[in-house]
Amino acid sequence: MPTFATKDLAELAHQLLLSPRQKRLSQIHGINTLLGLVDAEKSYPYDMVCFHITGYRNRRNSERPAIPGDKLVGDLVTLAEHITRKNAIPVAEVGEPVRGYEELASDLKVSTKTIRRWRKRGLMGFRVADTDGVSRLVYLGSTVDRFVESNKSLVERGAAFKQLSASEKTKIIELARKLLSERRRKLHIVAREISEQTGRAVETIRYTLRRYDQAHPDKALFGRNGLPAAPEQQRKIWRAHEQGNDNAKIARLFGITVEEVQRNLLEMQARKLKAEPVAYIHNELFDAPGADALILDVPVPTGSRPSKAKPPRDLPAYLRSLYEIPLLTAEQEVDAFRRYNYLKHKTARAIEALDICDVKPRDLDAIAELTARYEAQRRRIVEANLRLVVSIAKKHVGWSPRFFEVISDGNVSLMRAVEKFDVSRGFKFSTYASWAIMKNYARTVPEEHYHASRFVTGQDELIDAKAGEHTAVGEDLDRATLTRAIEESMRDLTDRERTIVADHFGLFGAEETSTLEELGQRFGVTKERVRQIERRAIEKIKGALSPAVAGLLPD
């Protein structure tokens, strides 16, 4: 099924396919007549379109929306090809001269590609069954005459077109690079300006620039979306900014003005925002007129929800303090989630509206303010439910040496649940979050127990458990010797392997260890991948140690 710009024409196409084949020729003539009447600047009622094609007149008032002329032209051409694709009209029944698209291209002195491109402008073709039984795309003489009469300058430019030489292509690329250096612009704007300077068609310029970008991705002028690509110097300016250099110093480093630095940084900020879309749970209320007044301007519900739960006595003070944070009432919970997702909705819309070719500081400031507001709502929801994680961990996991790591893992699940919860369904968030946390525990806790049973979980335990039990050749394996041996063996590891082993096992004075999931998030890989890297690193360490010392390490 081809793509139609309007739903009503797609529905009409389906109905026409079900009509008798004998009516196909009259339908084609109806489409051809209608194309001669349509003005791209006007809109037309569906009933009029249907009448011209089928002869059926609707006597009732139709509630279908009017069809814009520019969309109608393209849909009519698509419709003519679609309804004759499987039921081609015998060429003898057409009754007037027709031309194939290759013959037509030769007559008009243009390429066949140009003929296909003119479909969008109303050059209608349809399929006929030729005398040899082969289905071919043809064009009515009346259709071609009308199109040429209505698009004289377009046809003349197409006939005057000649293949671009290598020097012309180079000139177009250089002109585009110069225009982008003067001011950041989108592809269609650059193509139009170069077209005015060179006399070449806009489509030819656009095609040339696209081909250049595909052949030279490292020097591409534009991205796939038609926006100017970030040049290497712009990326270097951004890296210098992230390293803490002020704009004046960056300007001196790159030999440009402070204003140019600021413009480059604004564009890179906008690019980063667009590269990380804001996900949220949509509600149809967000699109209602005056949504701000309905959601953000109303007072926050007051009151408190009584809590009967008391903190377990064996919890440390900072976990006991979670039980002092008041719970959200049902009304407060609905209000908080509605505000949270609506603020994210506004943020997503603001980012979508950013024009990276003309980024204004006030636009980025507005996005930063919206971001801070929805993050404040998220903190409020999370803090009011943190005790839920402790309760589930105590009840379903129980106390263990890794209890605080389990709490941390549960907090991550809680925050993910906040992102996915749809308050409009009428459920309590605590019910949804509890299932999310327990589901995560059901997967991660057995994995952690298995891992803990295979590996000693700290440097002190690793060394103290075995120090002095074995003797290397000519020296005692005391604590200092083992520590020095492990440190030296880790020099052969990559930076990532060294960081994973040291942070997970708490080596070399680290105050606390990192979980596999935390390490995975840091390096942008899965928890299982971190475990594989760690296992490989330990094998490298063993290979660098003497057999006596290697025997102290976990298998």
Domain ranges of the chain: 7-151, 162-229, 284-440, 459-550
Which helix (H) or strand (E) is 486 found in, with range? helix 479-489
For residue 51, the 8-state DSSP code is H
Asked whether the beta carbons of 479 and 462 are under 8 A apart, the reply is no
Q: Is the C-alpha dihedral spanning 102, 103, 104, 105 positive or negative?
A: positive
Confidence at residue 164, expressed as pLDDT on a 0 to 100 scale: 79
> What does the block give as tokens for 77?
């051409």
Single-letter amino acid, residue 142: S
CB-facing half-sphere around the CA of 333: CA atoms within 13 A: 24
Pick the closest to residue 353 from 450, 236, 273, 281 (CA basis). Answer: 273
Rg of the Cα trace of the chain?
35
Asked whether the beta carbons of 336 and 328 are under 8 A apart, the reply is yes
Q: How far apart are CA 37 and CA 33, in angstroms?
A: 7
520: left (phi over 0), alpha (psi -120 to 50) or beta: alpha
Q: How far apart are CA 263 and CA 253, in angstroms?
A: 16
CB-facing half-sphere around the CA of 481: CA atoms within 13 A: 19
Q: Where are the alpha helices (DSSP H) in 216-297?
A: 232-242, 247-254, 258-275, 291-295
Pick the closest to residue 441 from 421, 419, 414 (CA basis). Answer: 414
> What does the block give as tokens for 508?
């070399």
Task: Pick 459-550's CATH classification: 3.20.20.70, 3.40.50.720, 1.10.10.10, 3.30.70.20.
Answer: 1.10.10.10
Single-letter amino acid, residue 282: H
Confidence at residue 9, expressed as pLDDT on a 0 to 100 scale: 93
Asked whether the beta carbons of 467 and 478 are under 8 A apart, the reply is yes
Beta-carbon contacts of 341 under 8 Å, excluding residues fewer than 6 positions away, are 280, 281, 282, 283, 286, 423
Confidence at residue 457, expressed as pLDDT on a 0 to 100 scale: 47
Confidence at residue 77, expressed as pLDDT on a 0 to 100 scale: 93
- CATH fold of 284-440: Four Helix Bundle (Hemerythrin (Met), subunit A) (1.20.120)
Q: What per-residue string of b and e applies to 434-461 under the rule 16 or more CB within 10 Å gives b?
A: bebbbebbeebbeebeeeeeebbbebee
Which SS3 state, helix, strand or coil, does residue 140 take? Answer: strand
Which SS3 state, helix, strand or coil, does residue 418 take? Answer: helix
Phi, psi angle pair for 369, to nearest 5°? -65, -45
Cβ–Cβ contacts within 10 Å for residue 552, how many?
20
Instruction: State if pTM tops 0.75.
Output: no
Which residue bears the tokens 């719970």? 327
Asked whether the beta carbons of 24 and 127 are under 8 A apart, the reply is no
Give, for all 555 residues of the chain, the pLDDT tens digit: 688 999 999 999 999 999 998 899 999 999 999 999 999 899 999 999 999 999 888 777 777 889 999 999 999 999 999 999 888 899 888 888 889 888 998 888 888 888 888 988 899 999 999 888 889 999 999 899 999 998 888 888 778 766 778 899 999 999 999 998 888 889 999 999 999 998 888 888 998 999 899 998 888 999 888 889 888 888 899 999 988 899 999 999 999 999 989 999 999 999 999 888 899 999 999 999 999 999 999 999 987 776 666 776 666 676 777 778 888 999 999 999 999 999 999 999 999 999 988 899 999 999 999 999 999 999 999 999 988 888 888 776 666 666 777 788 888 889 999 999 999 998 899 999 999 888 888 776 665 554 555 544 444 444 444 444 444 433 444 556 666 677 777 777 887 888 888 887 776 655 567 788 888 877 777 888 888 888 888 888 777 666 655 555 555
Asked whether the beta carbons of 83 and 75 are under 8 A apart, the reply is no
> What does the block give as tokens for 280?
């949220």
Q: How far apart are CA 57 and CA 49, in angstroms?
A: 10
